[in-house]
Structure 1
């Protein structure tokens, strides 16, 4: 496996051990994977230790910002959870065209969408008029483009409490295959992409498996199409999984071998095929639905006062605490992402705002070209053509005044 530049490699231990210290001190070394697990469960504990949802830690995903503090007051690395999610379900019904439903509520996807909210918060902080706020932001200007990039001493890590979802028992076992096929969730179950009829994919909401999404992010970055207009691709430095190392060959096949030979990205200098470091920790939890509220999914990002609770089977919030006039759906649904995007575009002085989610994504020209190239590359290698959610992206935001004069937003399909 080809490694990223050494400057991005996470620290394996902390604190550093003086050679003259006793061998007993070596037992006190905390490894990178232990630190990622510890900071994740500590954050989850402080958020949910006093309620039944604490049992959702059996399937937990978290994005962690690691900072190299060498040369500052603290000598070493600091780790901080900035987004997390739980869940084991997907929306199982017909397609909807207002962007208000969360289609995939698995832990990895919920955490990643919470990460997008965090990135928008940091971008707003960077563009504020306060020097102190800009200094605290994780972003700085790129030297190669007009976009933002992570500051040089900041890295993104992903912690998963268990292996990403695999095919259902009715499908062949992936672990025994040297070539991992593309898989898709539809009607609540995971199937091989090749076994999903086009009629089902056209009418039902379908979501790619977590393994396939990790593959996609290793080329396109985790920031998605909308944020690609503001920042350069953001790649995961390392993935820490609460599973035994015997799964390493499977993940290597899933994340590395499927991109061999690599797609030619020479025309897209900001993009690359990025191989994250893989670490495996002790299996402290099992990949099973939680014993209470098994269809519910949680999400949180740094700065949120509360954890949002979704019903993964319906794609809607269980409670209305997190909804607002600007978006009546979940704070991580597509409609909410469109509003975050519009807010940032206003902040940076864009005169012509794109109120259509589909057209806003299409405006990320380079991202869409790389995405199409990746899809074509996987299809050429025999994995099948990556499905597209064209219809569920076809909605726009219309602003109107309520009887009290307050501005409200209505989301509607833009195909009519």
Structure 2
């Protein structure tokens, strides 16, 4: 029959391509030339049903609001339907995505993002002023900030863009991933331990300075209500967030498969990125999930990790600021593309997971915005390109780690021990956890246990983690890799 207007009738055609490696099929619905979101499934029938469901989710709001969209050219299919609408941090609702909107660039002068970026730059300058010989380590920077009604301060900072090339070691003293956001997050955990020890201190003055308070509806502590957490990234995280911003869906081509491939989970091996949809983790090499994938995980599980989940509720970033520097791939796309693509990479893949998560856990959508670059853009100098710096509020000085070895370098301003293990390593975290258990008088956790035992006993955290892994696999994004269990079986 003839094709009708969008709001009344039209042909529905389905096209797909099987990803035989993971037995996942991808289909997208096309109505009057408009291509809708791709549905995936382990069978063709399941993928078709999902494609039809996603198309209806996008169509019904358009019909109800009487919106009309310009019909795209046959030679220029519509972009991947991702909204550019800015949203405040909230629990991800189970609702259809808005229809594609014109790209809206965030204001160049956002007072909050400028203030946070300035704070990161100032903190980094202070640290490097005492140790200018490590200025070449600051090409890629990530930092966590806490904000109150009248202040904004950097509490954790990390640099780096590589992970270790060694084999897994079962002593907890090797830092496997030295990418900036991973280092900053582990530095944040040290900051959280410090404030938990303040909270459980017998001195009321120290207790009052802690960022934590008791929650009326949970035995777990919560961050004080006037405090919010924010994340600054000097550049897009590796992985899905760096997918081509002009990626388009064309049901008559390989583009549907390409979208699944680009949105899939990624791994990093010695700093190089590989899609899980096309390769298996190389044997004999230490592989880590990409920074984009870890950000997705942290916005569901929280940034506190398993050990701290024994004491506090999940802690989420309310905003993610991206420095206004572009890789060559994205430079022509403009700043709007950066925020849109990173929003897809971090938030959209976990859509609909909240309802099944245990208490306190949810998918939190951070507010994505651009920020001025905290430091002059540049690349790491050759001798320092494998080095990573870390710092958290309260530290006396920087620690510098060789990212390929996962150990502190001889010239590091801070060295925790002659063994050269980083203060961010798993063994160091277990040591702080043991101290905190003793100070908090948590008798049920005082029995001697391995690092792995302590993690596994965080039941709700592990349940949420397993649900997220299963969700990503079911949606066709690939399998989340885990390090060998023996790497966590060690005691202090």
After TM superposition, the score normalised by the length of structure 1 is 0.81
What is the DSSP-based 3-state SS (H/G/I as helix, E as strand, rest coil) of the residue aligned with 2:355? coil
Deviations along 1:195-230, one digit per CA (max 9) or x if unpaired, are 342562xx4321111111110011000000010011
2:298 pairs with 1:217: yes
Which residue is 1:333 aligned to?
Answer: 425
- Structure 1 residue 357, shift from structure 2 partner: 0.7
Deviations along 1:296-319, one digit per CA (max 9) or x if unpaired, are 100000110010000001000003
- Structure 1 residue 167, shift from structure 2 partner: 7.2
Relative to 1, partners in 2 of residues 1:138 and 1:313: Cα closer, same or farther, differing over 3 Å?
A: same
2:127 pairs with 1:47: yes
Relative to 1, partners in 2 of residues 1:127 and 1:56: Cα closer, same or farther, differing over 3 Å?
A: same
Relative to 1, partners in 2 of residues 1:290 and 1:242: Cα closer, same or farther, differing over 3 Å?
A: farther
Aligned match for 1:270, one of 348, 356, 360 = 360
Runs of 4 or more above 6 Å deviation:
none
Counterparts of residues 207-356 of structure 1 (less than 5 Å): 207-243=288-324, 244-260=335-351, 262-266=352-356, 268-282=358-372, 285-286=376-377, 288-290=379-381, 292-319=383-410, 321-324=414-417, 329-351=421-443, 352-356=446-450
Bigger Rg, which one: 2
Relative to 1, partners in 2 of residues 1:264 and 1:34: Cα closer, same or farther, differing over 3 Å?
A: closer
The count of residues paired between Structure 1 and Structure 2 equals: 364
- Structure 1 residue 340, shift from structure 2 partner: 0.8
What is the DSSP-based 3-state SS (H/G/I as helix, E as strand, rest coil) of the residue aligned with 2:277? helix
- Structure 1 residue 88, shift from structure 2 partner: 1.1
Relative to 1, partners in 2 of residues 1:142 and 1:189: Cα closer, same or farther, differing over 3 Å?
A: same
Which residue is 1:401 aligned to?
Answer: none
Aligned match for 1:134, one of 207, 210, 220 = 207
Relative to 1, partners in 2 of residues 1:195 and 1:289: Cα closer, same or farther, differing over 3 Å?
A: farther
Which residue is 1:71 aligned to?
Answer: none
Which residue is 1:4 aligned to?
Answer: 89
Deviations along 1:101-152, one digit per CA (max 9) or x if unpaired, are 0011011111100000000000000000111111110000112211111000
Relative to 1, partners in 2 of residues 1:224 and 1:252: Cα closer, same or farther, differing over 3 Å?
A: same
Relative to 1, partners in 2 of residues 1:397 and 1:174: Cα closer, same or farther, differing over 3 Å?
A: farther
Counterpart-to-counterpart distance in 2, 1:215 and 1:237: 13
Deviations along 1:225-252, one digit per CA (max 9) or x if unpaired, are 0100110000001111103232122112
After TM superposition, the score normalised by the length of structure 2 is 0.69
- Structure 1 residue 322, shift from structure 2 partner: 2.3
Unaligned ranges ≥5, structure 1: 7-26, 69-76, 399-416
Which residue is 1:194 aligned to?
Answer: 277
Two-structure CA RMSD over aligned residues (Å):
2.6
Which residue is 1:359 aligned to?
Answer: 453
Aligned match for 2:217, one of 144, 148, 159 = 144
Counterpart-to-counterpart distance in 2, 1:58 and 1:146: 42
Partners of 2:317 and 2:366 within 8 A in 1: yes
Counterpart-to-counterpart distance in 1, 2:281 and 2:177: 20
Relative to 1, partners in 2 of residues 1:378 and 1:347: Cα closer, same or farther, differing over 3 Å?
A: same
